[in-house]
């Protein structure tokens, strides 16, 4: 495509026009193939919250879900503003399982995007613009921000896998879980890395009175796939395990909403809704079990302010 921005969600930048923040947008399952030879393209996916003419944030965009998208060969001609995915003035975003390849300049660009969870994204085959390429670029322009990186993959083609611009005097606190930090540039003080501990799964005691189910030789393990359904504010957060798969069928879904006390069964069912009433970071884990008793888990980190 030759258009500047294939998918754009933005608030109009006019002072005093934001009585309430816009919230709950989901951009998922898209395939975007850019034209790298085009003279000017911007981002593949762009989400912009409300901003005043003096660049102060009027209202951030609340709860954006950008997941399961494939973005190829987007020519980001401005290093400072562009990226295959750009979030500006956004809060509580989930950026998960996106495949970004062949992008020029920046893979994912965050400007004052606060409390973002980035998980299981793949950024590869980056191309340099203005002499460099950055996998995840952070711009804390107006405030300190925080984000979580979980199991994202970089192939080494970028100059920096992660970089935060410190020229505005603010920082990004980058919380890490199962995340390789090679080629993360912390030299300028714009990024603070914090490693989060991941509790071990507790193995329940064996029940001698129950005979373990026999597993056919050709029976495959289930594959857990946890997703979030965004619902109106105040109605809680809905978690959906319906994309989980198994060759012979899944018989149970078990949910844990706070892994600090080990993995417990706090809810069951393919779809569950949970209210998070206190501030903190909560690791939500779904365990699926198939007809043979084989299990698989999938997790996501929820940040509540």
Domain boundary, last residue among 176, 195, 214 = 195
Shared domain check, 171 and 284: no
- Out of 51-60, 142-151, 152-161, 166-175, least confident range: 51-60
Shared domain check, 239 and 188: no
Tell me the sheet residues that pair with 62. 23, 91
Is pLDDT at 58 greater than 70 in this prediction? no
What average pLDDT does this structure show over 134-157? 92
Shared domain check, 149 and 77: yes
User: Does residue 213 fall inside a structural domain?
Assistant: no
Shared domain check, 180 and 234: no
Domain count, the chain: 2
Residue in the structure block whose two tokens are 């970028």 = 158
| 77 contacts: CB under 8 Å, gap ≥ 6 | 39, 40, 41, 42, 104, 105, 129
Shared domain check, 182 and 53: yes
pLDDT tens-digit profile of 260-278? Answer: 666 777 888 888 888 877 7
| Other Cβ atoms within 10 Å of 176 Cβ, number | 18
Mean pLDDT of the chain: 79
pLDDT tens-digit profile of 231-263? Answer: 444 557 888 888 888 888 888 899 888 766 667
Is pLDDT at 164 greater than 70 in this prediction? yes
CATH number of the domain residue 280 falls in: 2.60.40.10
What average pLDDT does this structure show over 51-67? 74
Shared domain check, 277 and 134: no
Percent of the chain at pLDDT > 70 equals 74
Is pLDDT at 91 greater than 60 in this prediction? yes
CA distances from 1 to 6, 38, 127, 257, 286 (A): 8, 9, 18, 42, 38
Shared domain check, 97 and 12: yes
Residue 159: Cβ-neighbour burial (10 angstroms; 0-12, 13-18, 19+): middle
């Amino acid at each position: 495509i030759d258009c500047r921005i294939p998918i754009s969600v933005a608030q109009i930048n006019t002072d005093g026009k934001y009585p309430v923040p816009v919230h709950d947008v989901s951009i998922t399952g898209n395939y975007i193939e850019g034209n790298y030879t085009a003279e000017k393209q911007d981002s593949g996916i762009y989400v912009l919250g409300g901003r005043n003419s003096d660049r102060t944030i009027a209202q951030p965009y609340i709860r954006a879900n950008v997941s399961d998208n494939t973005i190829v060969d987007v020519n980001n001609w401005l290093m400072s503003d562009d990226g295959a995915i750009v979030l500006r003035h956004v809060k509580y975003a989930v950026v998960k399982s996106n495949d970004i390849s062949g992008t020029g300049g920046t893979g994912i660009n965050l400007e004052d995007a606060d409390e973002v969870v980035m998980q299981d994204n793949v950024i590869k085959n980056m191309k340099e613009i203005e002499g460099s390429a950055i996998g995840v670029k952070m711009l804390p322009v107006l405030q300190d921000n925080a984000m979580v990186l979980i199991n994202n993959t970089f192939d080494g083609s970028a100059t920096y896998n992660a970089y935060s611009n410190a020229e505005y005097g603010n920082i990004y606190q980058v919380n890490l879980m199962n995340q390789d930090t090679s080629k993360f540039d912390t030299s300028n003080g714009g990024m603070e890395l914090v490693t989060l501990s991941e509790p071990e799964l507790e193995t329940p005691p064996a029940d001698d009175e129950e005979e373990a189910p026999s597993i056919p030789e050709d029976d495959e393990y289930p594959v857990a796939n946890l997703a979030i359904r965004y619902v109106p504010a105040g109605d809680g957060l809905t978690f959906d395990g319906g994309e989980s798969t198994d060759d012979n069928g899944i018989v149970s879904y078990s949910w844990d909403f706070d892994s600090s006390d080990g993995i417990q069964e706090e809810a069951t069912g393919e779809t569950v809704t949970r209210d998070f009433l206190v501030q903190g970071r909560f690791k939500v884990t779904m365990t699926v079990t198939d007809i043979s008793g084989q299990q698989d888990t999938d997790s996501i980190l929820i940040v509540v302010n």
